[in-house]
Amino acid sequence: MTITVKITDKTKDMMNEFYKDMIRPKTPQYAIFQAQDGDTVVTLYESGKAVFQGKDADLASEYWIETEKINAGSVHYTNSDDKGKKEKKEVKRDYKLYSATTVGSDEVGTGDYFGPIVVTACYVNKENIPFLEELGVRDSKKLTDEKILEIVPKIIKVIPYNTVILSNIEYNERYSENINMNAIKAIMHNKVLNNITKENTDYEYAVVDQFTYPNAYFGYLKNNNNIFKNITFLTKAEDQVLSVACASIISRYVFIKEMGKISAKVGFLIPKGASTAVDECAYKIARELGFDELKEIAKLNFKNTDKVKALLEHKGE
């Protein structure tokens, strides 16, 4: 698999810093560096083209795709596996894992300018699998908000769960060059997994929807005293393990409720994501309620903030 991402200078500088200890001795022509990141070879070219090659190229590139979205507002990338394919590959499910008693965690809100980050861990006994299948439990991204609001109250009556919420105020205080989004997620996942397994100890697997390499995940936790270690990391885990699917849905449910509170506070509907509509909404809030209001309801490191500041400056507000 080969994934090519076009990046801006800010992301380029971040990649230089991130891969400085993984650089190969030989650098291809016109490249700034070539690094070995696990099973993936990463090549950054002077032109601003980042190429990820290997079986885990999708995972290695995912962080930088999201980073470029934040830094530039949008991103262009290509995936060699997508050529000539109109439909996504079906995820192959490991039925031994699917049918086991598991704990699983997942998060929402990391790609949304407005609203908190929500991470949930769930404990699903294999005896409750038919109940969840009957409700139509699946990844929250594949369910409408209306469906989530309908089924989550039924789920939480049966399925043990633990949720932590990182408010926008806390996020803006913590985020820095040393504490990035993946570090924040790792800390939150570690917390909910420790919490859920205090009383639910008879699980066979603990599964995390993989957002970074395991060594990087545990590296983010090196200063924590209580690290939950026995984890099965899976990409698209919400499609393969019902405890992760439940965690995804409950997290989305909490996020929807929190977004509702923000909408009520500002007096109009707040959009999800980080689109142009979000820029317009953020500008309206800054203009009518003051820029400081964004510190309480938005993730200020997103590129949307720069756009709002530019609009305010352009209009002399």
CATH at residue 28: 3.30.310.10
pLDDT, residue 65, reads: 86
pLDDT, residue 63, reads: 78
Residues 159 and 299 in one domain: no
Residues 300 and 224 in one domain: no
- Write down the H helix ranges in the chain: 9-18, 57-72, 95-98, 129-135, 145-155, 168-174, 181-196, 214-220, 242-266, 276-289, 292-297, 303-314
> Over pLDDT 70: what percentage of the chain?
94
| Enclosing domain of residue 232 | 95-261
Task: Give the pLDDT band (50/70/90) at residue 194.
Answer: very high
Asked if the structure places residue 51 within a domain, the reply is yes
Output the pTM of the full model: 0.73
Residues 208 and 278 in one domain: no
CA-to-CA separations, 66 to 87, 111, 197, 314, in angstroms, rounded: 22, 8, 31, 28
* HSE-up (13 A, CA, CB side) for residue 285: 28
Residues 72 and 107 in one domain: no
* HSE-up (13 A, CA, CB side) for residue 78: 6
Asked if the structure places residue 31 within a domain, the reply is yes
27-41, 88-102, 290-304, range with greatest mean pLDDT = 290-304
Asked if the structure places residue 89 within a domain, the reply is no
Residues 102 and 74 in one domain: no
pLDDT, residue 227, reads: 97
Q: Which of 62-71, 82-91, 107-116, 271-280 has the lowest mean pLDDT?
A: 82-91
Mean pLDDT of 230-257: 94
> Over pLDDT 90: what percentage of the chain?
60
Task: Give the integer Cα–Cα distance in Å for 252 and 119.
Answer: 9
Task: Give the pLDDT band (50/70/90) at residue 32.
Answer: very high
pLDDT, residue 239, reads: 87
The two three-digit tokens of residue 5, written as one number: 């991402």
Residues 106 and 239 in one domain: yes
Look at 121 and 304; give whichever has higher pLDDT: 121
The two three-digit tokens of residue 37, written as one number: 């990141």
Residues 74 and 16 in one domain: yes
Task: Give the integer Cα–Cα distance in Å for 174 and 181.
Answer: 10
The residue among 261, 282, 297 that closes a domain is: 261
Asked if the structure places residue 111 within a domain, the reply is yes
Asked if the structure places residue 90 within a domain, the reply is no
Cβ neighbours of residue 79 closer than 8 Å, sequence gap 6 or more: 1, 2, 3, 58
Q: Which of 252, 285, 317, 316 is nearest to 304 (CA)?
A: 285
Q: Which 8-state DSSP code applies to residue 274?
A: S
CATH number of residue 196's parent domain = 3.30.420.10
pLDDT at 84 over 50: no
Residues 102 and 73 in one domain: no
Asked if the structure places residue 88 within a domain, the reply is no
pLDDT, residue 21, reads: 82
Domain count of the fold of the chain: 3
Q: Helices 303-314 and 276-289: crossing angle, nearest 10°?
A: 50
Q: ∠ CA 186-145-175 to the nearest 5 degrees?
A: 30
Residues 301 and 224 in one domain: no
Residues 199 and 105 in one domain: yes
CA-to-CA separations, 138 to 11, 42, 133, 165, 248, in angstroms, rounded: 33, 33, 8, 22, 8
Residues 256 and 267 in one domain: no
Task: Give the integer Cα–Cα distance in Å for 291 and 281.
Answer: 12
Task: Give the integer Cα–Cα distance in Å for 149 and 145.
Answer: 6
The two three-digit tokens of residue 238, written as one number: 């919400």
Alpha-carbon torsion (278, 283, 288, 291), positive or negative? positive
Asked if the structure places residue 299 within a domain, the reply is yes
Q: ∠ CA 80-83-87 to the nearest 5 degrees?
A: 115
pLDDT, residue 92, reads: 63
Residues 106 and 187 in one domain: yes
Please provide the average confidence, as pLDDT, over all residues in the chain. Answer: 89
Asked if the structure places residue 26 within a domain, the reply is yes
Cβ-based neighbour number of residue 150 at 10 Å: 13
Q: ∠ CA 188-193-199 to the nearest 5 degrees?
A: 140
